[in-house]
Structure 1
Amino acid sequence: MAQSLIRLGHDVMGIDKDADLVQRWSNALTCAVQADSTDVNVMRQLRRPSMPPRQGSRSRLRRRRP
């Protein structure tokens, strides 16, 4: 899927805990980051400044309630 999006001209960020996977994909993707994508704070830090949440949309990066 990532390669298809890149061919269509989209920027693609890959996020994974596995350093080997991040290294393997680092040349193919716009950006590859070693991080825990289940951590909402990490995801907020990785959000591109040029891509703020759309007005009226609900963020999918919400904390789970205990």
Structure 2
Amino acid sequence: MYGGAAPLATTTTTTMTLLVRLRRTRETKWVERWHVDVQMKEEEEEEEEEEEKEEEEEEEEEEEEEE
């Protein structure tokens, strides 16, 4: 004979376990994406700084040539 509180409790526990796993997976993916975004921004900033340094060096070289 089936029924009563036991099957309902088991189903509820299983459902809650799956929901917790799903939430943790989503959080993990979100954190991974966040880290990738931060890394990309840092790389872009480094590239911009390098470009600015190169431009400054070129300007200094041009000024030296003019003198």
TM range, normalised to the smaller chain? under 0.3
Larger Rg: 2
- For CA contacts below 8 A with separation 6 or more, give which structure has more relative contact order: 1
Structure having the higher strand fraction is 1
Tell me the TM-score normalised to structure 2 length. Answer: 0.17
